[in-house]
Amino acid sequence: QVQLVESGGGLVQAGDSLRLSCAASGRSFSNYATGWFRQAPGKEREFVTAISRSGSSTYYADSVKGRFTISRENAKNTVYLQMNSLKPEDTAVYYCAAGRIFPAARVYDYDYWGQGTQVTVSS
């Protein structure tokens, strides 16, 4: 079992930056690939980015490529999502997820989920 807790969300203006964190506890976090998803009101949960178990490989949705960066520190059981040049369309609840498959962009590829953190970008 892996428990995930996201933090770092908030209200920012368009063009600003935020860094989200996902802290893991439980079974060895380094055994899992990790992804970030987001869900806006009235929309389905969508893939944002994923990182391999070692952190050597990453995978991004086209909508965030060049603006967002995922990284991880296995020694701290933490994954980060650096979000730059934020846009109002980035507004959503952001979820961290862990799973065995990489790269993986489907919700059902992931076994464990956090509760989410709200990111709101005003224009």
Q: How many CB atoms lie within 10 A of CB 28?
A: 11
Identify which of 35, 32, 12 has the alpha carbon closest to the alpha carbon of residue 118.
12
Which positions of the chain have pLDDT values less than 50? none
How much is the pLDDT for 17? 98
How much is the pLDDT for 79? 98
How much is the pLDDT for 88? 97
How much is the pLDDT for 5? 98
How much is the pLDDT for 28? 84
Name the phi and psi angles at 117, rounded to 5: -135, 135
How much is the pLDDT for 102? 96
C-alpha span between 60 and 73 (Å, rounded)? 19
Identify which of 44, 46, 60, 45 has the alpha carbon closest to the alpha carbon of residue 103.
60
**Radius of gyration over alpha carbons of the chain, in Å?**
13
How much is the pLDDT for 45? 98
